[in-house]
Amino acid sequence: MLAEFAGRPELADEMTGQLLDAFRRLVADDPVTMPGAPQLVAKAAVFAPLAVASNCPRDVVEDGLAKAGLLRYFGHVLVPEGDVRPKPYPDVYLEAARLCGAAPGDALAVEDSHCGFLSASRAGLRVLGVGPRKPVDEPPPVDVWVSTLADPDLVKWADSRAA
């Protein structure tokens, strides 16, 4: 998209490679997690199978989760490959639910991007939207919105399920 916006579509592959290389370096140096994410993931793993559905390359996702100490909680890492199309298509979420043994309507997606909201919603999952503020110009298709994964009500919910 950047290459097209810049009027240089022939640079798309080169720009994609440069962006992924820069992202890999950032993750290698300091895999930042959202506030509350490590605690919520650890609690959720007690009562539900967990999967990651991402548009990032597998190595980026797995390396970032491993460096953040979270990979062990996830039974599956889904990325666009083979017949699985990228978000906003529902494929990664449908496959994640299937691998976790859950019907899509019984699964919960935690998302922070519009593309992810659409993907999870189209797959029929319940969607927990996360971010400092809910977009107002184009409200996302989410069931619940929290500004942080450390939200007290969300933590209370996870604690009650883990117990």
8-state DSSP, 147? S
Strand spans (E) along the chain: 51-53, 76-78, 108-111, 126-130, 144-146
Do 100 and 87 share a structural domain?
Answer: yes
The residue segments making up the domain with residue 1 are 1-30
Q: What is the DSSP letter of 150?
A: T
- 119: nearest Cα among 143, 85, 145, 148: 85
Domain count, the chain: 2
Do 64 and 43 lie in one domain? The reply is: yes
Same domain, 41 and 14: no
The count of C-alpha atoms lying within 13 angstroms of the C-alpha of 114, restricted to the half-sphere facing its C-beta, is 8
Which tens digits make up the pLDDT trace of 91-145? 999 999 999 999 999 999 999 999 999 999 999 999 999 998 877 777 788 999 9
Pairing of strands 126-130, 144-146: parallel
Whether 59 and 96 share a structural domain? yes
Pair (85, 147) in one structural domain = yes
Write the pLDDT tens digit of every residue in 28-58: 677 778 889 999 999 999 999 999 999 988 9
Residues 17 and 41 in one domain: no
Q: Is the pLDDT of residue 15 over 90?
A: no
CATH code, domain carrying 41: 3.40.50.1000
Burial of 21 from C-beta contacts in 10 A (0-12 / 13-18 / 19+)? exposed
Q: What is the mean pLDDT of the chain?
A: 91
User: Is residue 14 domain-shared with residue 83, that is, in the same domain?
Assistant: no
Residue showing tokens 């240089």: 8
Residues 95-130: b if buried by 16+ CB within 10 A, e if exposed: bbbeebebebeebbbbbeeeebbbbbbbbebebbbb
Q: Are 92 and 26 within one domain?
A: no
pLDDT digits (tens, 9 = 90+) for 60-91: 889 889 988 999 999 999 999 999 999 999 99
One domain, residues 59 and 94: yes
Say if residue 89 is in the same domain as residue 155.
yes
Same domain, 24 and 39: no
- Regarding whether 38 and 25 lie in a shared domain, the answer is no
